[in-house]
Amino acid sequence: MKIKSNLFFLTFLITAGLIFTSCSSDDDTQGETGEDSRVLNVEKADGTLYSDGEVITFNKAGGNGTRPEDVQLKYYLKNVGSEDINVKIEVLEFRGTDGSDFTFCVQPLCIFEVTEGQSYPPNGTVISPGEYNSQDDYFINNDIGDENTTSIEYDMRFYVEDDNGNQTNDLTITYQYMPN
């Protein structure tokens, strides 16, 4: 009888262990407490969030040093975490252009020519918990292309970088200019 009792107890422990193990999450967006570890929100001007892979299309370009509102792709970087974060934006790739006519502002810095694979600002921008970086961050394409241009596109990756260079909270959007 004692053997059956021990066998039953051993089976119970193994089954409980398997259930416990299968219920744990391997999702790296979850912290140790089970809370969502996303700390960077990239918001649109209306307060909604950009979606990873979202394409935003404009049919007008800036130019001649102007920064018209109707060609600005505005974005707001918000720290929704509980510690300071360092945010960078990488120009992953551009198509139909050489990057020389792109205005990219992430305060306090504005860049007037971008390079593929480069992150801006070079040292990042630190955002405190519950705060936004700026209300004046945006992208503008100033390249109108030529008679063969069907579209000009810039893939931009937002991410948080820690002191060790680890990158998290990736979000990529595409600024697309399609001439009329």
The domain segmentation of the chain, as residue ranges, is 41-177
Return the ∠ at Cα 31 (arms to 37 and 88), rounded to 5°. 35
Q: Quote the pLDDT of residue 18.
A: 40
Residue 4 binned pLDDT confidence (cut-offs 50, 70, 90): low
Q: pLDDT tens for residues 125-152?
A: 999 999 999 888 999 999 999 988 999 9
Instruction: Pick the range with the lowest mean pLDDT from 66-70, 71-75, 96-100.
Output: 66-70
Which of the four pLDDT bands, split at 50, 70 and 90, describes residue 2? low
- The token pair at 55 is 């394409």
Per cent of the chain over pLDDT 70 is 78
Beta-carbon contacts of 134 under 8 Å, excluding residues fewer than 6 positions away, are 76, 77, 106, 107, 108
pLDDT tops 90 at residue 75: yes
pLDDT of residue 107: 84
Lowest mean pLDDT among 4-13, 43-52, 86-95, 163-172: 4-13
- Report the pLDDT value the prediction gives residue 71, as an integer from 0 to 100: 87
pLDDT of residue 37: 73
Burial track 105-114 (b if 16+ CB lie within 10 A, e otherwise): bbeeeebeeb
Q: Cα dist. 31→34, 51, 62, 127 in Å?
A: 5, 22, 43, 20
- Of the candidates 90, 74, 63, 68, the one whose C-alpha atom is nearest the C-alpha of residue 145 is 63
The CATH classification number of 41-177 equals 2.60.40
Q: What is the mean pLDDT of the chain?
A: 83
pLDDT at 174: 97
